[in-house]
Amino acid sequence: MEKSPVLAAAVMCFLWFVVFQLLEVVINLPFSMMISGYDAKFGTIGVVISTILMMGVYRWWFRPEFEGMLKGNLPLGFLLGLVELGYVLIPFAAGLLAGEKIQIKPISLTIFSVSLMAGMGEELAFRGVFISTLMREWKNQNKFRNAAVISGTIFGLVHATNLFVGADPVRTMLQVVGSMSVGIIFSAIYMRGGSLLPCMFYHTIHDIIAIAASGNVSEDGVITGAKLSWTDGLEMVLAIVMAAVALYILRAANNEEMRELWNRKWKNDKAEIPEQNEV
C-alpha cells in the first residue's frame, strides 16, 4: 500500500463497491418475497444495511487505526455541499425561467431507491473507501488536491459504463465530465469535513432531481434521450466552475487543518515530511 497508494485505493474501492452491491441484493431478496412491489435490486432496506455493514467492515479491517467515515465537522460538510446542490439546481431553474417545457416525473419509490443506492453506495466506495485509503498514506504529504482529482476522474470514467446498458453516447460523455466534477467536489467535502454523511445526502438529492426533472433519464437512472439543449452547455460550464471551487476548498492555506483532521481519523504513528508541490 505504501508503494502504490493509488492502486491500493482503487482496488479497495472497487472491492467494496462490488461486495456492497452483492450484499444489497442478498439482503433485499427476502424482503422482495414478503413485500409486494419491493425491488430486490434497488430496495432501500438493503442499501442502508449494506452501507452500514461495509463501513463497519472497513473500520474493522483497519482497527484500531481508523476513526471511521462518519465522524467529522458536519456543519462544514453540509455548508460546502450547497455548492454541489447549486450545480444541479441552477440549470433546472434556468430552464424554467427561460420557458422550457420540463416534464417533472413524480418521485416514485424506484427513483428514490435508485438515487439512495447511488448516494450511499457510490459515496461509500469512491469517497469513503478510496479517499480514506489514500489519506492513510498521503495525509501528511499535502496531496489533498491530488486525491480529489484522482477520485473524481475515476468516478467520472466509471459512468462511461452506462453505454453498455443502452445510454445515449453523447449524453453519456457529458455525464462523464459532469461526474468528474461531482466526484472532485464530494472528495473536497469529505477531506475538509471528515464525514461522509453530507456527501451521501447531497448525492442522493442530486440524483433525485436529475432523474425526476429530466425527460432524457429513465426512472432507473439510464440516459435514454439524445436531444441536447443550451442548459447542457450551462451544466458543463458549471461543472468546470465547481471543480475550480473544489480545488479552492483544498487550497494550501487549509493544508494544516486537513492534516490535523486526517491524523485524528488515522491514529497511526507515521510521521512524513510535508511536501509543498501539489497538482
Any idea where the domains of the chain sit in the sequence?
5-265
The distance from CA 254 to its chain's CA centroid, rounded to whole angstroms, is: 22
- At 123-159, the pLDDT tens digits run 999 999 999 999 999 989 999 999 999 999 999 999 9
Residue 220 scores a pLDDT above 50: yes
Residue 102 scores a pLDDT above 80: no
Q: Region 171-187: what's the mean pLDDT?
A: 94
Q: Region 234-252: what's the mean pLDDT?
A: 96
Residue 113 scores a pLDDT above 80: yes
Mean of the per-residue pLDDT values of the chain? 89
The pLDDT assigned to 269 comes to: 53
Q: How far apart are the first and last CA of the chain?
A: 21
pTM, two decimal places = 0.91
The pLDDT assigned to 279 comes to: 40
Q: How far, in Å, are 75, 151, 237, 242, 263 from residue 248 at the CA level?
A: 19, 16, 17, 10, 21
At 252, is the pLDDT very low, low, confident or very high (cuts 50, 70, 90)?
A: very high
Do the Cβ atoms of 12 and 61 come closer than 8 Å?
no
d(CA 279, CA 272): 19
Q: How far, in Å, are 98, 145, 274 from residue 105 at the CA level?
A: 20, 37, 50
The distance from CA 130 to its chain's CA centroid, rounded to whole angstroms, is: 11
Residue 123: closest CA among 202, 58, 30: 202
Share of the chain above pLDDT 70, in %: 92
The CB-based long-range contact list for 34-42 (8 Å cut-off, 24+ gap) reads 37/109, 39/109, 39/110, 39/113, 42/110, 42/113, 42/114, 42/117, 42/220
**Cis peptide leading into residue 75 (ω within 30°):** no
Radius of gyration of the chain (CA): 19
Residue 277 scores a pLDDT above 50: no
Q: Of all helices (H) and strands (E), which one includes residue 259?
A: helix 255-265
Q: List, in order, residues 6 or more apart from 98 with CB less than 8 Å away.
A: none
d(CA 17, CA 28): 16
Bridge partners, 217 (sequence order): 223
Cell of 160: 462511461
d(CA 229, CA 236): 12
